[in-house]
Amino acid sequence: MNNLLSDQDTKAVFEILTRELGVDQTQLTSEARLKEDLAADSLTLVQISMALEERFSLSISDQQLETVQTVCDVFELLADLLQPPRRCS
């Protein structure tokens, strides 16, 4: 996960996840499942999404949010959304 975002962005994501999930950062392993392992419900996932949108000034669609199952998925989604758009040359 550390190679997907900058150190500052990684720290911000961990802060959001620990706050919204009410867990210790040591529980946020890449394979930890948000619902099954960290007890997130649909409201918690929306709150995480809103916090990420605010912090990173982006928009996460409902379809994108539905694909997020693990902590690693959060980082992968953000890495995809934060990539600069590519243009044909």
**What ranges do the domains of the chain cover?**
7-82
Is 41 considered catalytic here?
Answer: yes
Q: Which residue has the tokens 């997130």?
A: 40
pTM, 2 dp: 0.89
Residue of 7, 24, 41, 73 marked active site: 41
pLDDT at 83 over 90: no
CATH superfamily, region 7-82 = ACP-like (1.10.1200.10)
SS in 3 state form for the chain? CCCCCCHHHHHHHHHHHHHHHCCCHHHCCCCCECCCCCCCCHHHHHHHHHHHHHHHCCCCCHHHHHCCCEHHHHHHHHHHHHCCCCCCC
In which element (H, E) is residue 26 found? none
Q: Each residue of 15-69: pLDDT tens digit?
A: 999 999 999 999 999 999 999 999 999 999 999 999 999 999 999 999 999 999 9
